[in-house]
Amino acid sequence: MPESSPPHRQPEVFPSAIDRWLILVVTVGPLIATAAGIHTWLHGNPNDAAMLFLAGAFALLLTLLFMLPCRYTLSDDTLAIRCGLIVFHVPVNEITDLRPTSTLLSGPALSLRRVEIKTRNRRYIVSPRDRERFISTLRAAANLPDA
């Protein structure tokens, strides 16, 4: 009888939590540029207004390209961390520790309610919406002891 392989894990997606204050921070620049553009337009400077509208739109687009979607996908042997155009593939067997944190360190996380994932070479800061389930699921997949 042929040797059977272990059952494959259905990829599990954990969306990022998103803090409301971050939405404000991301949108305030483009909103100010738009308000300044309207003011400039009303005062007879349509070329300057157009530049302000374009700058605001470009800033918003660039920000969104590096923020959305923000999610963490766990498959059989890999945790894929995606935040916009940035993607990391973390082999699950290289994870040495993970813990809840609220660090301000930069990472593909849209909330301060975060999880720090350590490997031998690097650490990743993520912010799954369901932090407790993410930690327990990833701990089990990486064969880490309960904290």
Instruction: Please report the DSSP string for 50-67 in residue order.
Output: HHHHHHHHHHHHHHHHTT
Instruction: State how far the Cα of 125 lies from the Cα of 18, in Å rounded to an integer.
Output: 14
Instruction: Name residue 4's amino acid.
Output: S
Average confidence score pLDDT of the chain: 92
pTM confidence score: 0.84
Q: Are 16 and 46 spatial neighbours (Cβ–Cβ below 8 Å)?
A: no
pLDDT band at 92 (very low <50, low <70, confident <90, very high): very high
Task: Check: CB of residue 127 under 8 Å from CB of residue 109.
Answer: yes
Residues 74 and 137: beta-carbon distance below 8 Å = yes
**pLDDT, tens digit (0-9, with 9 covering 90-100), for 30-48:** 999 999 999 999 999 999 9
Question: Does domain 69-142 match CATH 3.40.50.10490?
Answer: no
Domain-wise residue ranges, the chain: 20-67, 69-142
